[in-house]
Amino acid sequence: MSYKDQIDKIRLPQHVAIIMDGNGRWAKERKKDRSYGHQYGAEKVREVTEAAAEIGLKYLTVYAFSTENWNRPDEEVTALMALMIYYIEKETPDLIKNNVRLTAIGDLSRIPEDARKRLEQCMDDTSVCTGLTLVLALSYSSRWEISRAVKNIASDVKDNKLKAEDIDDKVIDRYLMTADMPDPDLLIRTGGETRISNFLLWQLSYAELYFTPEYWPDFGKENLYKAIVDYQSRERRFGKTSEQL
């Protein structure tokens, strides 16, 4: 029996987040350069997005490019940006066909202007879609996002738009880039590493964590379904006891 057939559609996670790790190591094992791994990794985004849409997930967030990735060699950054925009534009018709809305979080101001405009066009083209929302975390880091939220909160307190004593976790939620979506229920990280690497630190507070040794280019539909089956086997208590659930 496939993992897809084992999924309880009534208990699906609303939001799955993925750290797509291992493209470079996958390519190195095949004696190829890193861009070869990134090309295969981009294809897997399409496959996993289709898998998520097929079972009815509402949100899928993929960590595509971190603020720390700007420190990589210039040629790799340039190739990554070109590859991402190429695949986004290439897949836009299928996203629309599959009723998938594309959006992005992160410091998009750092993305080259041409690439940013093309990304914005793809987001605009899919804005009418009402099925799965695919969220690209681009030029993103959680510390940057939280710092940005704190600055905006401080500015609104100074301008008397917000009272300091009213600040709580719900207020902070509203100032994050994910304000219009539920927090992730499940985080998946490929590539064998067991850390969350400055990704959605606030939002992952109660997420289930799933680490898998497969490199991202080897991660496909059944791997996603396996992670969801594992998620559904866990007891989510949110601080309560089993007896209280």
Q: What residues are designated binding site for substrate?
A: 22-26, 34, 38, 66-68, 70, 72, 189, 195-197
Verify whether residue 21 is a known catalytic residue.
yes
Catalytic residue among 21, 98, 185, 223: 21
| Binding site listing | 21-26, 34, 38, 66-68, 70, 72, 189, 195-197, 208
Q: What angle do CA 226, 31, 189 make, to 5 degrees?
A: 25
Rounded CA gap, 167 and 171, in Å?
6
The end-to-end CA distance of the chain, in Å, is: 30
Catalytic residue among 5, 33, 69, 166: 69
Residues 222/4, Cβ–Cβ less than 8 Å: yes
| Binding site listing for Mg(2+) | 21, 208
232-237 LR contacts (CB < 8 Å, sep 24+): 232/7, 232/8, 232/11, 234/208, 236/185, 236/206, 236/208
Tokens for 9, please give them: 């559609």
Count Cβ atoms below 10 Å from residue 154 Cβ, excluding itself.
Answer: 13
Rounded CA gap, 208 and 31, in Å?
35
Tokens for 39, please give them: 């090309």
Residue 105: phi, psi to the nearest 5? Answer: -125, 150
Question: Residue 163: exposed, middle, or buried by beta-carbon count in 10 A (0-12, 13-18, 19+)?
Answer: exposed
Verify whether residue 98 is a known catalytic residue.
no
Pairing of strands 15-19, 133-140: unpaired
Give me Rg for the CA atoms of the chain.
Answer: 19
Q: Would you name the residues annotated as active-site residues?
A: 21, 69
